[in-house]
């Protein structure tokens, strides 16, 4: 796996943890599980030489033409099993849904067995398939995931809950998924938190009653969204910030807390992704979570 750095501050050892995991199910050695948990909660990306094998009948879905016109991803709703944003003919959609569901089940098994501390707290969110090439597309800065950012949801307040994402590269042509990984969350938050204004009185209530958010936005959610936007809009920061480049070839799976890890996806196609949510209380080191870091910096409770 090749790496390149823009600044000498970050090294592969600081940002990445390579684990010898080659199965989606355990059992795994307890020391390996502890190592995975510690690295993940410290803000590293776990990298596994673990392929997700697509079946012969599924190869036809590994094509940008599978994507609909409403966004960057095809989604699978875990509650209904329904696909969103795909141009695949209706008769073929059960096959695409089955592929995505099999990946979702594999990712769930991996987390349950490799990170058993989280097992009783794990909440499965949407599964996504990203068949289109990232490089060369045009986005507004706020929606451009080629810029370093932490994840935050405009419509789904999390009140401090973690965003754990599992990715795998299934590109049939050997294309690598190219990422940048940025500085630790605490440094990023310290840099941009002074720019964040408090929300207008009553704004969280108004967003909820008008249906613009699914639940009431907490001060934590307000700050995370502001940090997401501030970093992306700061051109000087994007050009000069410390980062490391990581290339994930087909047959590689990687996972991280994307609310904590500054990341950018620069190039690649045909990636599968599964999102999970976890409460702060499930963490081995809750003091490392974005919620606790921001509360320490702000000097007040944010939920």
- In-domain check, residue 303: no
Cα 242 vs. chain centroid, distance in angstroms? 20
- In-domain check, residue 165: yes
| Longest CA pairwise span in the chain (Å) | 56
Cβ 273 vs Cβ 177: under 8 Å:
no
- State the Cα–Cα distance between residues 9 and 6, nearest whole angstrom: 9
Which among 192, 156, 179, 171 has a CA at the least distance from the CA of 261? 179
- In-domain check, residue 121: yes
- In-domain check, residue 154: yes
Domain that holds residue 207: 3-298
Which among 124, 109, 103 has a CA at the least distance from the CA of 23? 109
- In-domain check, residue 15: yes
- In-domain check, residue 170: yes
Q: What is residue 9's predicted lDDT score, i.e. its pLDDT? A: 55
Residue 56: CATH number of its domain: 2.60.120
Q: 207 to each of 161, 197, 213, 226, how far by Cα in Å?
A: 20, 17, 6, 16
List the pLDDT tens digit at each of the 303 positions of the chain. 333 334 445 778 889 999 999 999 999 999 999 999 999 999 999 999 999 999 999 999 999 999 998 888 999 999 899 999 999 999 999 999 999 999 999 999 999 999 999 999 999 999 999 999 998 877 888 889 999 999 999 999 999 999 999 999 999 999 999 999 999 999 999 999 999 999 889 999 999 999 999 999 999 999 999 999 999 999 999 999 999 999 999 999 999 999 999 999 999 999 999 999 999 999 999 999 999 999 999 999 999
In the chain, the number of structural domains is: 1
- In-domain check, residue 147: yes
Q: What is residue 1's predicted lDDT score, i.e. its pLDDT? A: 37
Residue 32 phi/psi, 5° resolution? -65, -40
- State the Cα–Cα distance between residues 46 and 48, nearest whole angstrom: 7
Q: What is residue 141's predicted lDDT score, i.e. its pLDDT? A: 81
- In-domain check, residue 239: yes
């Amino acid at each position: 796996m090749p790496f390149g750095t823009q600044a000498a501050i970050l090294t592969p050892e600081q940002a990445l943890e390579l684990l010898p995991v080659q199965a989606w199910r355990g059992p795994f050695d307890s020391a390996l599980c502890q190592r995975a948990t510690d690295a993940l909660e410290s803000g590293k990306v776990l990298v596994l030489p673990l392929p997700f094998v697509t079946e012969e009948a599924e190869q036809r879905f590994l094509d940008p033409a599978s994507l609909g016109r409403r966004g960057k991803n095809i989604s699978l709703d875990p509650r209904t099993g329904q696909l969103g944003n795909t141009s695949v003919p209706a008769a073929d959609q059960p096959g695409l849904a089955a592929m995505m569901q099999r990946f979702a089940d594999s990712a769930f098994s991996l987390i349950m067995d490799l990170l058993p501390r989280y097992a009783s707290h794990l909440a499965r969110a949407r599964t996504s398939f990203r068949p289109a090439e990232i490089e060369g597309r045009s986005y507004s800065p706020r929606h451009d995931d080629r810029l370093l950012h932490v994840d935050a949801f405009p419509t789904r307040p999390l009140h401090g809950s973690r965003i754990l994402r599992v990715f795998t590269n299934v590109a049939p042509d050997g294309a690598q998924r190219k990422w940048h990984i940025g500085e630790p969350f605490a440094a990023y938050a310290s840099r941009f938190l002074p720019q964040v204004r408090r929300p207008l009185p009553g704004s969280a209530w108004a967003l909820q009653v008008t249906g613009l958010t699914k639940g009431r936005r907490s001060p934590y959610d307000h700050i995370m969204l502001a940090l997401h936007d501030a970093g992306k809009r700061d051109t000087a920061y994007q050009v000069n910030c410390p980062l490391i480049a990581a290339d994930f070839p087909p047959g590689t799976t990687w996972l991280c807390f994307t609310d904590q890890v500054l990341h950018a996806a620069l190039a690649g196609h045909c990636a599968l992704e599964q999102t999970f949510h976890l409460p702060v209380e499930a963490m081995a080191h809750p003091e490392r979570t974005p919620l606790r870091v921001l509360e320490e910096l702000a000097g007040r409770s944010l939920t």
